[in-house]
Structure 1
Amino acid sequence: MTYDEFRALRRFPALDGLRAIAALMVVMFHFGGSDWQWLSGHSGVHIFFVLSGFLITTLALREEEQPGRISFVNFYLRRLFRIVPVYLVVLLAMAVHFAPPGALFGDLNGGMPYYLTFMNEFSTYGIFTISWTLGIEQKFYLVWPLVAFAAGVIPLGRRLGVTIGLIAAAAVAATLSRDLYIHYIPILIGCLLAILAHHPRGFAVIRPLTHPIVGTALALGFIGVQLALDSANNAFGGVRVIPWYALCVALVLPGLLARTPGTWLLSTRVLGFIGERSYSLYLVQVLAGAAVLWLVEVGNQLLGTGFVLNYGNTRAILVAIVSLVMADVLYRLVEQPCIKLGRRIVAWRRSRREASAGHRPAPTDAPAGLGTQVPHQRSAAETAEPNVASAPQR
């Protein structure tokens, strides 16, 4: 793949497939019990983190090229309409379902104050602790644009230096304070990959990874890493393994942007369908688990049996199916309408800004650091962004 081919991409379909696999890994790990421990499915969350960092930063970098500075308001509006509406709907459903007898809403074992303020990762005993990733990502989305883009267009080396410095700071903070800080490293590794890919000199570094043979070899190697992850966690500790695992994910991603067998496999309609709904799928898995147990109970009453659905393949598969059905409803009724509303608001703000700029004298030179200006169009990150998701499991 050449640099121009990468910049011409308006969609990364294989990343939807990767997100689908990551989401299913998490569900199977949570509800499959010992039958799925070998998969280390909790690592799916770090796949999501790397993807989020890559896509969010790609969006910001491509937007930055248009006026020479990203709109922080537009950035936060996109995040708001992408993440919050469906999250609040699921949170409300959780509060109603798990309410104590006689109460309309429940506080989810004392976790509600954390969930309403996106301090999810600090809720240890709440029923909705799988949402801890939203606390991590929301804080990252709040700070990252201000750190990496507040100064406008800055040189590749300086931006790489800032990102590497943040990775080092997160590692030190995790060592000296709380392990939670280690989860920022996978997101920053995704950001680092996006920064490299965006600039011609940086893309030259990762271009060998897009070769079909190299990309295929790395994908097969990553499968081996995934299968060996449980042993690595036991040997070195899960926290220590996280940055290295995230680096492996980042090494595989360039090959999934080019024409490799892995790209073809992950771009199938089924995986794309699941990947587009992966955010809602992950959010509703607790409710889906409760629904499956309810269905079993109803079935026992109707059939007069005493069947018990324990952890295992059957339970995990049923929960995955019910989660996908619920996710599809949320995707159609909540996610997509809210994302479209957010885009309309952003487009309206952009049109107002462009109309206002039309009354000003046009600059004679492009801002420092900008290349050839092109008419605004939706970037690959913008079209892919609605699929940016989180995933549970600490």
Structure 2
Amino acid sequence: MNVADPALGPAGPAPTLGVRVPTPPEASAPPARRPAGDRLRALDGLRLLAALMVCLYHYAGKNGEVAASWHQSPGHLFPTLSRAATYGSLGVQFFFVISGFVICMSSWGRTLGDFFRSRVARLYPAYWVALLLVGAASLALPVVLAPLRPDEFLVNLTMLQQPMGVPRVLGVCWTLWVEMRFYVLFALCVIVKGVTYRRVVVFCVLWTLAGVLARVADTPLTDELVMRDHAPFFVGGLALYLIHRFGGDLLLWGIVGMSFLLGQRYAVTAMWHPGMTGDFHRDPRVVQAIVLVAFAAVAVVALGWVRRADWRWLTVAGALTYPFYLVHEHLGWFAIRVLYRGLGLDAHLTMALTVAGLLGLAWLVHRFVEKPFGPRLKRAMARQARRPGLT
């Protein structure tokens, strides 16, 4: 990502929230130690790792639809692997920490319009193709995924199906709704005035406080707006980017520490017990350890300790992550039925071929959809924004 440094504006008084919030970076924040567009290939590798964690969970760490595809519980087929795979669902929280870091980095120096166009161009082309692929698979093998009515499928094109109460074509897209709400919050509270050290810090503190108060209020609307269970992971990622860019201090590390403490609580209460579909038991201590590793892994990148991990293949790995994440669940169950039950292949070979095949499909989506059409869509929106009467 190549992002220019932010324009400097006049310093204003820092609000007091029980902690000493630094004045704007143009006045007293530590000088930037790294440019905003610094490419971090190790972060790309972490993104793919998180996607593979979720993939392993969907193939071997739960029952329900995947058990129907294997024709038995994955716990019987993979007695050792499944005990680890059931923790793969925590890859989502790993994603959220990374997302906080990346969004702060990529929005630095951008206008609200630039940010909006970059998110639309980044998210929608691959998403629309994934909808078409999974929708076609549901018609070919309805036992894996029941086809949706045309009106329901069309609402899925908006990525707003969850708040609309419409069934999802892609099971994993609930996380996209979480991400979209984070983008909107960060855009309206920070990007609209320009991303600065002080504004990001204030946003982190206020969002953390709002999440705690939302838990007290315990109403669906506040939960939707504040995302009390997911906010700590995004906030931790935002603070870790500030540490990467400006260096660590007690305030920033305090925000990261608070985010971990709140995030691990959510992860334990949400995931340690068996789910409605008979998910395998999760040890709360292991859940805590994985959440700690997620924060620590991004912290290692933020501190620059893995800067030598500058291999080009990590960039490719990062590029595959989003399309792979979109298509792996339902198309994977489709492939398992065909390879394992249809062709009679070994279960472990079926798993390996399914993952490899969907990584290959992700590369095709990236190469022939994201790379050509994402920039075109972004340029088209930019031209539209420059039309007379729209500025």
Tell me if 1:289 matches 2:336. no
Q: CA deviation at 1:273?
A: 2.5
- The answer to which of 112-121 and 11-20 deviates more is 112-121
Q: Using the alignment, how far apart are the partners of 2:375 and 2:313 within structure 1? A: 23
Amino acid in structure 1 at the alignment position of 2:183: Y
Structure 1 match to 2:353:
318
- Aligned-partner SS, 1:331: helix
Change (3 A) 1:38 1:101: closer
Alignment of 1:1-12 (within 5 A): 6-7=34-35, 10-12=38-40
Q: Which of 171, 184, 189 pairs up with 2:236?
A: 189
Tell me if 1:334 matches 2:364. no
- Residue correspondences, number: 311
Q: CA deviation at 1:26?
A: 1.2
- Aligned-partner SS, 1:141: helix
TM-score by length of 2: 0.64
Structure 1 match to 2:206:
165
* Matched-pair contact (CA < 8 Å) for 2:54–2:88: yes
* Matched-pair contact (CA < 8 Å) for 2:117–2:382: no
Alignment of 1:84-233 (within 5 A): 84-99=124-139, 106-107=147-148, 112=153, 115-119=156-160, 121=162, 126=168, 128-152=170-194, 156=198, 159-174=200-215, 176-177=218-219, 181=227, 182-198=229-245, 200=246, 203-205=247-249, 233=271
C-alpha RMSD of the superposition: 4.4
Deviations 1:248-283 (A, max 9, x none): 5344324225553x5545x44544432221100111
Q: Using the alignment, how far apart are the partners of 1:121 and 1:241 within structure 2? A: 30
TM-score by length of 1: 0.64
Deviations 1:204-253 (A, max 9, x none): 428999xxxxxxxxxxxx9xxx9xx9899538999999899666534432
Q: Which of 263, 266, 277 pairs up with 2:320?
A: 277
* Matched-pair contact (CA < 8 Å) for 2:50–2:94: yes
Q: CA deviation at 1:159?
A: 3.6
- Aligned-partner SS, 1:107: coil
Amino acid in structure 2 at the alignment position of 1:84: Y
Structure with more contact order per residue of length (Cα contacts < 8 Å, sep ≥ 6)? 1
Deviations 1:289-343 (A, max 9, x none): 3134324455x3xxxxxx3766xx4443232111101101101011111233245
Q: Using the alignment, how far apart are the partners of 1:155 and 1:4 within structure 2? A: 10
Amino acid in structure 1 at the alignment position of 2:106: L
Tell me if 1:234 matches 2:272. yes
Amino acid in structure 1 at the alignment position of 2:136: V
* Matched-pair contact (CA < 8 Å) for 2:239–2:252: no
Deviations 1:103-126 (A, max 9, x none): xx9317996466334245566964
Amino acid in structure 1 at the alignment position of 2:174: W
* Matched-pair contact (CA < 8 Å) for 2:97–2:237: yes
Q: Which of 231, 249, 268 pairs up with 2:294?
A: 249
Q: Using the alignment, how far apart are the partners of 1:153 and 1:94 within structure 2? A: 38
Q: Using the alignment, how far apart are the partners of 1:184 and 1:244 within structure 2? A: 19
Q: Using the alignment, how far apart are the partners of 2:211 and 2:289 within structure 1? A: 14
Change (3 A) 1:168 1:324: same
Structure 2 match to 1:47:
94
Amino acid in structure 2 at the alignment position of 1:131: C
Change (3 A) 1:120 1:54: farther
Amino acid in structure 2 at the alignment position of 1:205: D
Q: Using the alignment, how far apart are the partners of 2:149 and 2:47 within structure 1? A: 28
- Aligned-partner SS, 1:150: helix
- The answer to which of 127-136 and 232-241 deviates more is 232-241
Structure 2 match to 1:80:
120
Which structure has more helix as a fraction of its residues? 1
Deviations 1:135-161 (A, max 9, x none): 1111221231111132346662x5412
Unaligned runs of 5+ in 1: 64-69, 210-221, 301-306, 354-394
Amino acid in structure 1 at the alignment position of 2:115: F
* Matched-pair contact (CA < 8 Å) for 2:272–2:284: no
Change (3 A) 1:252 1:234: same
Q: Percent identity?
A: 25
Amino acid in structure 1 at the alignment position of 2:133: A
Amino acid in structure 1 at the alignment position of 2:39: R
Q: Which of 14, 21, 43 pairs up with 1:15?
A: 43
